[in-house]
Chains A and B, each alone.
Chain A
Amino acid sequence: MIKAILIFNNHGKPRLSKFYEHYNEDTEQQIIRETFHLVSKRDENVCNFLEGGMLIGGSDYKLIYRHYATLYFVFCVDSSESELGILDLIQVFVETLDKCFENVCELDLIFHVDKVHNILAEMVMGGMVLETNMNEIITQVDAQNKMEKSEVTSVLA
Chain B
Amino acid sequence: MALKIVKGSIDRMFDKNLQDLVRGIRNHKEDEAKYISTCIDEIKQELKQDNIAVKANAVCKLTYLQMLGYDVSWAAFNIVEVMSSSKFTYKRIGYLAASQCFHESTDVIMLTTNQIRKDLSSPNQYDTGVALTGLSCFVTPDLARDLANDIMTLMSHTKPYIRKKAVLIMYKVFLKYPESLRPAFPRLKEKLEDPDPGVQSAAVNVICELARRNPKNYLSLAPLFFKLMTSSTNNWVLIKIIKLFGALTPLEPRLGKKLIEPLTNLIHRIMSADRSVYIPFLVARVRTKGESMSVLKYVKAMFVFVVKYLGLLAMSKILKTHPKSVQSHKDLILQCLDDKDESIRLRALDLLYGMVSKKNLMEIVKKLMLHVDKAEGTTYRDELLTKIIDICSQSNYQYITNFEWYISILVELTRLEGTRHGHLIASQMLDVAIRVKAIRVFAVAQMATLLDNAHLLTGNVQRKGICEVLYAAAWICGEFSEHLDNPTQTLEAMLRPKVATLPGHIQAVYVQNAAKLFATVLKSQEGNTDSTAAQETSQLMIDRLPLFVQSANLEVQERASCILQLVKYIQKLQQKDVEIAEEVIALFAGELNPVAPKAQKKVPVPEGLDLDAWINEPPSESESEDEQPRAIFAKEEPKHSRPRHTEVDEKELAKRREARKQEQANNPFYIKSSPSSQKVYQEAPGVEHIPVVQIDLSVPLKVPGLPMSDQYVKLEEERRQKDRADKKKKEKKKRKEKRSGRGKRHDSGPESEEDITPAHMVDIVTEEMPEVPSRISNTISPSTLWVFDDKKSSKHKKKKQKKEKEEKEKKKKKKHHHHHHHSDGGGEESVQNGTVEEEEPLPVSRDGPDQVNDIQGNLQDGSQVVVSVIFENKCDSFLKSMEFNVLDSLNSKLQRPEGSGPHDGLTVPFQLPPGQSNVCLFVIHYLLFVVVFPQNEDSSTHEKLDFKLHFTCTSYLISTPCYSDAFAKLLESGDLKCSSVKLEGVVMPFHHLLARICFRHHFSVVERIDSCASMYSRSIQDHHVCLLVKTSGQTVSIDAKCDEPTLLGNVLDEIKQTFSQC
Complex contact A25–B236 (CB within 8 A): no
> Interface digits, A1-18 against B, CB 8 Å rule (1 contact, 0 not)?
100000000000010111
Contacts of B184 in A (CB 8 A): none
A135 to B325 Cα, complex, angstroms:
44
In the complex, residue of chain A having the shortest beta-carbon distance to the beta carbon of B139: A126
Residue of A nearest to B69 (CB): A29
Cα distance A24–B129 in the bound complex, in angstroms = 26
Within 8 A of B (CB), among A117-139: 117-118, 121, 125-133, 136
Residues of B contacting A148 in the complex (Cβ-Cβ under 8 angstroms): 88-89, 92
Residues facing A in B266-287 (CB within 8 A) are: 276-277, 279-280, 283-284
Q: Known: A80-B208, A111-B18. Is A117-B68 also a contact (CB below 8 A)? A: no
Which of B92, B124, B235, B243 makes the CB contact (< 8 A) with A80? Answer: B243
A143, B92: Cα distance in complex, Å: 13
Would you call B71 an interface residue if the criterion is a C-beta within 8 Å of the partner chain's C-beta atoms? yes
Write the nearest CB–CB distance from B17 to chain A, whole angstroms.
10
CB of A151 within 8 A of CB of B87, answer: yes
**A50 CB–B CB distance under 8 Å:** yes
Given contacts A114-B60, A121-B133, A125-B133, contact A85 B198 (CB under 8 A): no
Contacts of A133 in B (CB 8 A): 198
Q: Mark A142-157, 1 if CB is under 8 A from B, else 0.
A: 0110011001100100
> Which of chain A's residues have a CB closer than 8 A to the CB of B88?
144, 147-148, 151
Q: Which one of A1, A111, A126, A131 lies within 8 Å of B19 (CB-CB)?
A: A111
Are B137's CB and A126's CB within 8 A?
yes
Task: Pick the contact of B103: A17, A22, A51 (CB < 8 A).
Answer: A22
* A60–B276 alpha-carbon span in the complex (Å): 24
State whether B172 touches A83 (Cβ < 8 A): no
* Contact A140-B161, Cβ < 8 Å, known A29-B69, A126-B172, A130-B202: yes
CB closest chain-B residue, reference A82: B280
* A128 engages B171 (CB within 8 Å): yes
For A144, give the chain B residue with the smallest CB separation: B126
- Which residues of the other chain, A, contact B346 by a CB distance below 8 angstroms? 51
The answer to whether A80 and B209 have CB atoms under 8 Å apart is yes
Whole-angstrom distance between the alpha carbons of A156 and B169 in the complex? 36
Q: Is A69 an interface residue (CB 8 A)?
A: no
Contact of A128 among B18, B71, B205, B284 (CB under 8 A): B205
| B70-111 at interface with A (beta carbon < 8 Å) | 70-71, 87-89, 92-93, 96, 100, 103-104
Bound Cα distance from A49 to B172, whole angstroms:
27
Whether A118 lies near B96 (C-beta < 8 A) is yes
Q: Which size class do A's interface residues fall under?
A: 35 or more
Q: Determine whether A110 belongs to the interface, using a CB cutoff of 8 Å to chain B.
A: yes
Given contacts A16-B67, A25-B71, contact A131 B243 (CB under 8 A): no
Given known contacts A114-B96, A125-B169, A136-B198, A83 and B89 CB-to-CB distance under 8 angstroms: no
The reply to whether B93 and A114 contact each other, CB–CB distance below 8 Å, is yes
Measured between beta carbons, the chain A residues less than 8 angstroms from B560 are: none
B315 smallest CB distance to A (angstroms): 14
- Smallest CB-CB separation from A28: which chain B residue? B69
Cβ-based interface call for B341 (8 A): yes
- Is the Cβ of A1 less than 8 Å from the Cβ of B63? no
The smallest C-beta distance from B347 to any residue of chain A, in angstroms, reads 8
Cα A143 to Cα B130 in complex, Å, equals 13
Bound complex: CA of A151 vs CA of B86, how far in Å? Answer: 11
Taking CB as reference atom, which chain B residue is nearest A136? B198
Given contacts A83-B310, A151-B89, contact A25 B66 (CB under 8 A): yes
- Residues of chain A within 8 A (CB-CB) of B344 are 46-47
Collect the chain A residues with CB atoms within 8 Å of residue B70's CB: 25
State whether A85 touches B236 (Cβ < 8 A).
Answer: yes
Distance of B198 from chain A, by nearest CB (Å): 6
Q: Given A111-B19, A111-B22, A130-B202, are A85 and B53 also a contact pair (CB < 8 Å)?
A: no
Chain B residues 724 to 740 lying within 8 A of chain A, measured CB to CB, are none
Asked if B340 is at the interface of the complex by the 8 Å CB criterion, the answer is yes
Nearest residue, chain A, Cβ from B244: A80
Please tell me if the beta carbons of A49 and B280 are within 8 angstroms of each other in the complex: no
With A80-B212, A129-B205 as known contacts, state yes or no: A51 contacts B343, CB within 8 Å. yes
Question: Is A113 engaged at the interface, CB distance under 8 Å to the other chain?
Answer: yes
The verdict on B309 contacting chain A, using a C-beta distance below 8 Å, is yes
Give the docked Cα–Cα distance between A129 and B205 (Å): 8
What residues of A have a CB within 8 angstroms of the CB of B71 in the complex?
Answer: 24-25
Asked whether B209 lies within 8 Å of A128 as measured between CB atoms, the reply is yes
Give the residues in chain B near A1, CB-CB below 8 Å.
Answer: 209
Q: Dominant SS at the B interface?
A: helix
Q: Is B307 an interface residue (CB 8 A)?
A: yes
Which A residues lie within 8 Å of B235 (CB)? 85
Residue among B69, B93, B341 making CB contact with A42, cutoff 8 Å: B341
B283 with A83: CB separation less than 8 A: yes
CB–CB A113/B236 < 8 A: no
- Name the B residues within 8 Å of A112 (CB-CB): 18-19
B168 touches A128 (CB 8 A): yes
The answer to whether B308 has its CB under 8 Å from any CB of chain A is yes
Residues in B with CB closer than 8 Å to A25 are: 66, 69-71
**Is B164's CB within 8 Å of the partner chain A?**
yes
Task: Name the one of A17, A43, A85, A121 contacting B280, with C-beta atoms under 8 angstroms.
Answer: A85
Indicate if the CB atoms of A43 and B341 lie closer than 8 Å: yes
Which residues of A in the span 27-60 have a Cβ within 8 Å of any Cβ on B?
28-29, 42-43, 46-47, 49-51
Is there contact, CB below 8 Å, between A47 and B309?
Answer: yes
> Which residue of chain B is the closest to A18 with respect to CB atoms?
B100
Residue on B with the closest CB to A121?
B133
* Chain A 63-92: CB-based contact to B (< 8 A → 1; otherwise 0): 000000000000000001011110010000
Q: A26-B69, A43-B340 given as contacts; is B310 within 8 A of A84 (CB)?
A: yes
Do residues B92 and A144 form an inter-chain contact, with CB atoms below 8 A?
A: yes
Within the complex, what minimum Cβ distance (angstroms) separates B211 from chain A?
9
- The answer to whether the Cβ of B239 comes within 8 Å of any Cβ in the partner chain is yes
Q: Which residue of A lies closest to B198 (CB)?
A: A131
- Complex formed: what's the CA distance from A83 to B309 in Å? 10
Residues of A close to B545: CB separation below 8 A:
none
Contacts A49-B343, A84-B277, A130-B165 given; does A155 touch B53 at CB 8 Å: yes
Question: Taking the nearest CB of chain A, how far is it from the CB of B1035, in angstroms?
Answer: 47
Contact partner, B136, options A43, A126, A132, Cβ 8 Å: A126
CB B559 to nearest CB in A, in angstroms, measures 41
In the complex the two chains form, what is the Cα distance from A151 to B90 in whole Å?
10
Q: Hey, which chain A residues are within 8 Å of B168, CB to CB?
A: 125-126, 128, 130
A78 nearest CB across to chain B (Å): 9
- Judged by a CB distance under 8 angstroms, whether B64 is at the interface is yes
Give bound CA distance, A43 to B66, whole Å. Answer: 31
The answer to the question of B206 belonging to the interface, with a C-beta cut-off of 8 Å to chain A, is yes
Contacting residue for B164 out of A29, A49, A110, A131, CB 8 A = A131
- The smallest C-beta distance from B243 to any residue of chain A, in angstroms, reads 6
Question: In the complex, how many angstroms separate the beta carbon of A86 from the nearest chain B beta carbon?
Answer: 9
Given A84-B277, A133-B198; A113-B205 close (CB under 8 Å): no
Q: In the complex, how many angstroms separate the beta carbon of A133 from the nearest chain B beta carbon? A: 7
The residue from A29, A50, A114, A125 contacting B132, defined by CB atoms under 8 A apart = A125
Q: Can you report 29 A-B residue pairs in the complex whose CB atoms are below 8 A from each other?
A: A1-B209, A18-B100, A24-B71, A25-B70, A28-B69, A42-B341, A46-B341, A46-B343, A50-B343, A80-B209, A82-B239, A83-B283, A83-B309, A83-B310, A84-B307, A110-B26, A111-B19, A111-B22, A113-B67, A114-B60, A114-B63, A114-B93, A126-B168, A126-B171, A130-B164, A132-B234, A136-B198, A148-B89, A151-B88
Closest 6 CB pairs of A and B: A126-B136, A46-B341, A22-B103, A29-B69, A82-B280, A47-B309
> Apart from A83-B307, A85-B280, A128-B171, what 13 extra A-B contacts exist at CB < 8 Å?
A25-B70, A29-B69, A49-B310, A111-B19, A112-B19, A121-B130, A126-B137, A126-B139, A127-B136, A130-B164, A130-B165, A151-B87, A152-B89
Using a CB–CB cutoff of 8 Å, the interface residues on chain B facing chain A are: 18-19, 22-23, 26, 53, 60, 63-64, 66-71, 87-89, 92-93, 96, 100, 103-104, 124, 126, 129-130, 132-133, 136-137, 139, 161, 164-165, 168-169, 171-172, 198, 201-202, 205-206, 208-209, 212, 234-236, 239, 243, 276-277, 279-280, 283-284, 307-310, 313, 339-344, 346
